[in-house]
Amino acid sequence: MGSHVLPPASVQAVRSTEPLRQKIEAIEARSRPKALAVAMRDLGTGLTFDHHADRWFHAASTIKVGILLGVYGAIHEGRLVAQSRVHVRNRFSSAWDGSPFRVASERDANSEVHQHIGSTMRVSELALHMIATSSNLATNLLLDLVGLDTVQRCLESLHIHGVDVRRGVEDERAFEHHVNNRVTADGLAALLRAIAEERAFSPEISRQMVDVLHAQEFKSGIPARLPKAVRVAHKTGEISTVAHDAGIVYPPDCPPYVLVVLTEWEPDGTGRSATIAEVSRAIYEFLHADGGAARA
């Protein structure tokens, strides 16, 4: 996989992104989301593209990338071992007032972790379920294990702003009081860039996180309209009013690039995944307009 560090500004490719901006704005006008944010970071040339990248969105499940960072940060520090076993339970304390809450199995994206209640699972298994199948129960178990402070400290250690982890998932009491996880496209892009460039604690730890992100099972967003040879290590997130995808895109013959697409919709809005896929395709076509030679 290798490490790809963005070139300094003085040697970054000088290329206008205006045609890309026009295409993204046309997609936005046609799809009509309430909001659309895009951040792209080309690890080969240093080219960047931002469209409302500093706008805050409800994070939905993309916040799990921040929690993944906290888990692997604790592993790097020696406070946690990937093969350690965690007691699987379904009782958590609200970030608002400490009142107990549970993750409803019928609302969770995957029921497998629920089937282990009363027994144990490895940290590595829970991390995989948190990302690949977006298990909310796995997420809360890991967040309880490492703590909110650890997650935020790990983000701060990498100078990442725009990823705000404030509570576990399905914490309705906190939600009612507007205590929500939130992200910006720029913040998620900075986090994924640190992982892609193998700066997240160590090259080995970074590669382990990439492997987990490659296991993502929901592929209707960023990967959907890309050539089959392109691999994407990513995390999706969707609730009633938002749909997101954030990942590292690995074309077969070029350095990777980071892409984050965040969208907000009316509750009955349609075409969410299709819009993300269309933005992703536009980014890919722009970067490979010359066959990718400029990125090699």
Separation of alpha carbons 92 and 101, rounded Å = 5
Cα–Cα distances in angstroms (integers) from residue 138 to residues 68, 135, 188, 224, 233, in the given order? 11, 5, 21, 26, 19
Q: How many CA atoms lie within 13 A of 39 on its CB side?
A: 25
Separation of alpha carbons 107 and 112, rounded Å = 13
Separation of alpha carbons 286 and 1, rounded Å = 23
pLDDT tens, position by position, 80-133 = 999 999 999 999 999 999 999 999 988 888 889 999 999 999 999 999 999 999
Average pLDDT taken over every residue of the chain? 93
Separation of alpha carbons 152 and 70, rounded Å = 8
pLDDT of residue 110: 80
Strand partners, 101: 92
pLDDT of residue 192: 98
Residues, the chain: 296
pLDDT band at 293 (very low <50, low <70, confident <90, very high): low
pLDDT tens, position by position, 149-181 = 999 999 999 999 999 999 999 999 999 999 999
pLDDT tens, position by position, 1-48 = 455 555 544 444 467 999 999 999 999 999 999 999 999 999 999 999
* CA trace torsion 295, 53, 172, 88 (10° rounding): 20
Percentage with pLDDT > 70 across the chain: 93
Arithmetic mean of pLDDT, 206-223: 97
Kindly tell me if the per-residue pLDDT of 215 is higher than 80: yes
SS3 content of the chain, % helix, strand, coil (to 5): 40, 20, 45
9-287: CATH topology is Beta-lactamase (3.40.710)
pLDDT of residue 175: 93
